[in-house]
């Protein structure tokens, strides 16, 4: 599989979601969560918007890095980089915690993660599930599938020292889950991610390094 080409394709899909303002239905307003029917599977594409009081470069570094992810992202029990593709792309193995009061059991995922820096100081972190023979599905967990997901980080227009974070999620949980359970619990789950990121970035020292090269960024995943 051409992982680099697939990463670029996923990034373009996330940019398309970001630019598409039609058809979104707001389903939670504390942090704005919207949804519409996914074109990838029989489920929803979610859009989550929040403000993080950190610079865009620091926020994208924080979200992109696999190190210490499980210390702040309370939805995960495992998040490991299993193969580096290039300085902006890697494959990760993720195991989630159970959520919705245990009604959704842990899942594992194999995702291709890619960082792209765009004009206007905007960074896109995209991810999508891939086949990776080194980590075949295990009987211990149901293997979920992430259709094109990602985060778009950009300077907040009214305060460029802060960042607007827009996240897109379309996760196929698989297993025997009723769609109504996912639809009822996913919005709060996504809000929790934004809140965890907002709290976590305060306590983690993020070196000024990244796969991007604007604003003093330099590659941190050395070839």
pLDDT of 220 = 36
Looking from the CA of 117 toward its CB, the CA atoms found within 13 Å total 19
The pLDDT tens digits of the residues spanning 45-68 come to 999 999 999 999 999 999 999 988
> Average model confidence (pLDDT) for the chain?
90
The predicted structure's pLDDT at residue 125: 97
pTM over 0.85: yes
Decide: 170 and 149 in contact? Cβ < 8 Å. yes
State how far the Cα of 52 lies from the Cα of 197, in Å rounded to an integer.
8
pLDDT of residue 219: 38
Percentage with pLDDT > 70 across the chain: 91
Q: Tens of pLDDT along 76-117?
A: 999 999 999 999 999 999 999 998 777 889 999 999 999 999
Give the tens place of pLDDT for each residue, 19-30. 999 999 998 877
Nearest to 99 by CA among 23, 37, 189: 189
Cβ burial of 152 (10 Å; 0-12, 13-18, 19+) is buried
Give the chain's radius of gyration (CA, Å). 17
Q: How far is CA 203 from the centre of its chain?
A: 20
Model pLDDT, residue 207: 58
Q: What confidence tier does 178 reach under pLDDT thresholds 50, 70, 90?
A: confident
Does residue 43 contact residue 170 with C-beta atoms inside 8 Å? yes
Q: How far, in Å, CA of 113 to CA of 86, rounded?
A: 11
Beta strands in the chain (DSSP E): 25-28, 32-37, 44-52, 76-86, 89-96, 107-118, 122-129, 142-143, 145-146, 149-156, 159-169, 171-172
Q: How far apart are CA 183 and CA 127, in angstroms?
A: 21
């Amino acid at each position: 599989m051409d992982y680099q080409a697939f990463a670029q394709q996923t990034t373009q899909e996330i940019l398309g979601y970001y630019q598409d303002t039609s058809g979104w239905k707001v389903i939670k307003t504390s942090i704005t969560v919207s949804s519409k029917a996914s074109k990838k599977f029989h489920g929803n594409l979610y859009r989550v918007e929040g403000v993080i009081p950190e610079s865009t470069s620091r926020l994208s570094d924080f979200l992109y890095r696999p190190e210490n992810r499980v210390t702040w992202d309370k939805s995960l029990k495992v998040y490991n980089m299993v193969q580096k593709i290039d300085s902006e792309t890697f494959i990760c193995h993720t195991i989630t915690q159970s959520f919705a009061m245990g009604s959704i059991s842990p899942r594992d995922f194999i995702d291709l993660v890619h960082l792209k820096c765009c004009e206007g100081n905007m960074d896109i972190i995209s991810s999508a599930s891939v086949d990776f023979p080194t980590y075949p599905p295990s009987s211990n967990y149901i293997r979920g599938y992430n259709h094109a997901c990602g985060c778009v980080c950009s300077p907040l227009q009214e305060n460029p020292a802060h960042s607007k974070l827009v996240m897109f999620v379309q996760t196929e949980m698989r297993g025997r889950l009723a769609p109504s359970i996912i639809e009822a619990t996913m919005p709060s789950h996504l809000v929790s991610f934004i809140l965890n990121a907002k709290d976590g970035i305060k306590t983690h020292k993020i070196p000024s390094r990244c796969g991007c090269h604007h604003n003093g960024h330099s590659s941190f995943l050395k070839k």
